[in-house]
Each structure stands twice: as C-alpha cells, then as structure tokens.
Amino acid sequence: MRRLLTVLLAPLLALLPAPLATDAAQARPQRQVTYDHWSLMLDGRRVVLQAAEFHYFRLPSPPLWRDVLEKFKAAGFNAVSLYFSWAYHSPRQGVYDFTGVRDLDLLLRTAAETGLRRRPARLGQDGARPRPQQRARLP
C-alpha cells in the first residue's frame, strides 16, 4: 500500500512547484541584453549608457540620495555608476554594517525608482564594482 501511494503521489508532488516557478518567472520578465560595436541593446533596442558617478558614502544622509539621483536624471543621465567602499561597510575584519547610511539595498532601490540604470556589474552584483585602491579615496 505504501509503495502504491508513493508511486501515485510522487508525480503529483513533482508538479506542485512548477506553477510557483512559472508565476515567479512571469512576475519578473527577463530582459535580453546583447551588444555590438556601438552600444548595448536591451530587448533589441539600442541603449547608450550615460552614467554619472555617485559616491554615496560622501553623502551620509539617505533622504538626500534620492534628490541627487533625481538631479542626475534631470540632467540627462540614464545610469548611475557606484563605487562600494568596503572599508566603509566593514570597519574591522568580520564586522559588516549595511544599515542606516550604509544601506546598499536602499541605495539600489532608490536608483531604480528614479529610473536610473545601475552600472552593469563586473562581479555579478547589481551595479557593484570594486573601487580603485587609492588610499586618498577612502571615506
């Protein structure tokens, strides 16, 4: 009896996650990103990124981040390039702080809400890139 239930229920249980995965895929449509010699193309449309640099750690007031990003958009930029200063988020080894003025999730959400693209990631994180090792630039 147990074997019969296993044989009958296993295919049904295997089908349960499929609608959930389908719903998630439909909720967030995938964009096709390609490029040629001249520019990036998103979903077949040519996009030239014109980015402004924003050092969020030099403006330690999250409510003002939106104002600066909106000014970038109003000035004609369509993207923002961000340096992430890991020394700012990890004051000592093994200690990490991503809250308050160090809230990267808030920064990336705010940039997206203003309509700015974040600079494409080289290391796989949304908009992140390691900053140059210039000691004068440490916050």
pLDDT score for 98: 92
Domains of the chain: 2-137 (3.20.20.80)
Q: What is the pTM of this model?
A: 0.63
Residue 13's pLDDT band, with cuts at 50, 70 and 90, is: very low
Residue linked to tokens 């074997």: 3
What's the confidence (pLDDT) of residue 137? Answer: 54
In sequence order, the β-bridge partners of residue 33 are 42
As a three-state string, the secondary structure of 27-95 is HCCCCCEEECCCCEEECCEEECCCEEEECHHHCCCHHHHHHHHHHHHHCCCCEEEECECHHHHCCECCE
Instruction: Give per-residue pLDDT as tens, 19-63.
Output: 444 555 556 678 788 888 888 888 889 988 888 988 888 898 999
Q: What is the DSSP letter of 114?
A: T
